[in-house]
């Protein structure tokens, strides 16, 4: 037995923070990755704040000598988006009009169908689920021509209703997959207890199941908002020329062949268009991760 003191003073308190080589390498990697993603954004922001004179003369990385919001104003109100020159304003409103029903409808339908399949187990439910999952793997370009014919025959081609219908149809497989799997992870006894307590189909959905669905609804809404907002092809084909979404108008601005390329306006327009998904991710990133995890691990 040595005479070592039983509790030496230097061994006390919280675990000391340490910066070892592994940590250092990790941080360097993270910083490099962040820089790689932030670099284009930096170029876009600085360019959008310059006037054309500065764009032509200066370096593309430099901060403008006299930053101005002229390019932003022009992108929003007066850039030419095809035949008209009224900026992205109209496209923004169109995109919103398409977005709200195209998110609400599939999410609501997915939640109810997933609930019915998981808990009520109707006959043929598995078949329906399997069929929809197959839909997930068929490239949607295949459907476009038949869909155009079908929608035009029921008067839904070239208007908001048509584009909402298209978004809803193509979102159903993934929505159903999300909700059914989430509900399958909830205990069946909960549903049984509600049955004994006398709840019907809608009451159990509204009072018991829906209040537990927040995490998966957040995931579904984020997926659908970004999907619909970033859509270009469906908007171009199905929305009709009066309802073209922002992405289509942005494309028209950037690809306009007439006159000199106004890089600053193009940058500003691009940022404006990307703003909605950006904000959604910014504010819901934590929820998103939590929701995905909640689907995987119980409790």
Partner 1 sequence: MSQVAIKNLDITFGSNRVIQNLDLQIEPGEFLVLLGASGCGKSTLLNAVAGLTDVAGGQIWIGENNVTWAEPKDRGIGMVFQSYALYPRMTVEQNMSFGLEMARHPKAEIRERVARAASMLQLKPLMQRRPAELSGGQRQRVAIGRALVRDADVYLFDEPLSNLDAKLRTELRVELKKLHAELGATMIYVTHDQVEALTLANRIAVMQGGVIQQLASPDEIYRRPVNRFVAGFVGSPGMNFIEGELQLRDGKVDLKTARGNLDVTRYPFAERPEDGRKVTLGLRPEHLQPEPEEGWCPASLTVSVYESMGADALLCGELSGATVSVKLPSDWSPIPPAGARVTMWYDASKVSIFDAVTESRL
**Residue reference for tokens 């028209």:** 252
**Cα–Cα distance measured from residue 45 to residue 134, given in angstroms and rounded to the nearest whole number:** 42
CB of 236 closer than 8 Å to CB of 244: yes
User: How many residues of this chain interact with partner 1, rule: CB under 8 A?
Assistant: 16
What string marks each residue from 190 to 229 as x (binds partner 1 by CB under 8 A) or -?
x-xxxxxxxx---x---xx--xx-----------------
- Of the two residues 4 and 123, which places its CB atom closer to partner 1 in the complex? 123
Residue 22 neighbours by CB distance under 10 Å = 8
Between residues 81 and 213, which has the closer beta carbon with respect to partner 1? 213
CB of 263 to partner 1, least distance (A): 52
- What is the smallest separation between the CB atom of 203 and partner 1, expressed in angstroms? 7
Nearer CB in complex with partner 1: 142/196: 196
Letters for 47-76 (x = contact with partner 1 by CB under 8 A, - = none) are ------------------------------
Q: What's the rounded Cα separation, in Å, for the pair 75 and 68?
A: 13
The pair of three-digit structure tokens given for residue 27, joined into one six-digit string: 């941080």
> How would you label 98-125 residue by residue, b for 16+ Cβ within 10 Å and e otherwise?
bbebbbebbbebbbbbbbbbbbeeeeee
x/- track of binding to partner 1 for residues 149-188 (CB under 8 A): --------------------------------------x-
Greatest alpha-carbon pair distance for the chain in Å reads: 95
Binding site for partner 1 (CB under 8 A): 187, 189-190, 192-199, 203, 207-208, 211-212
């Amino acid at each position: 037995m040595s005479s070592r003191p039983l509790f030496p003073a230097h061994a006390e308190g919280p675990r000391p923070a340490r910066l070892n080589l592994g940590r250092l390498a990790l941080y360097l990697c993270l910083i490099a990755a962040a820089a790689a993603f932030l670099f284009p954004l930096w170029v876009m922001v600085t360019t959008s704040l310059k006037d054309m004179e500065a764009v032509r003369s200066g370096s593309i990385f430099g901060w403008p000598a006299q930053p101005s919001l002229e390019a932003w104003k022009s992108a929003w109100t007066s850039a030419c988006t095809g035949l008209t020159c009224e900026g992205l304003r109209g496209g923004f409103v169109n995109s919103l009009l398409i977005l709200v029903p195209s998110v609400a409808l599939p999410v609501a339908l997915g939640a109810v169908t997933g609930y019915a399949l998981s808990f009520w187990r109707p006959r043929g439910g598995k078949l329906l689920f399997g069929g929809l999952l197959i839909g997930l793997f068929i490239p949607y370009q295949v459907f476009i021509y038949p869909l155009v014919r079908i929608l035009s025959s029921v008067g839904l081609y070239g208007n908001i209703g048509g584009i909402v219908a298209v978004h809803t149809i193509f979102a159903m497989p993934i929505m159903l997959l999300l909700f059914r799997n989430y509900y399958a992870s909830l205990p069946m006894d909960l549903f049984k207890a509600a049955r004994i307590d006398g709840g019907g189909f809608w009451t159990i959905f509204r009072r018991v199941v829906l209040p537990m669905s927040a995490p998966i609804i957040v995931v579904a809404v984020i997926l659908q908002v970004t999907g619909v907002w970033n859509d270009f092809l469906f908007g171009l084909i199905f929305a009709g020329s009066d309802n073209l979404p922002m992405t289509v108008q942005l494309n028209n601005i950037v690809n306009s062949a007439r006159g000199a390329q106004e890089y600053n306006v193009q940058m500003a327009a691009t940022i404006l268009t990307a703003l909605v998904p950006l904000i959604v991710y910014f504010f819901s990133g934590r929820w998103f991760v939590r929701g995905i995890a909640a689907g995987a691990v119980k409790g």
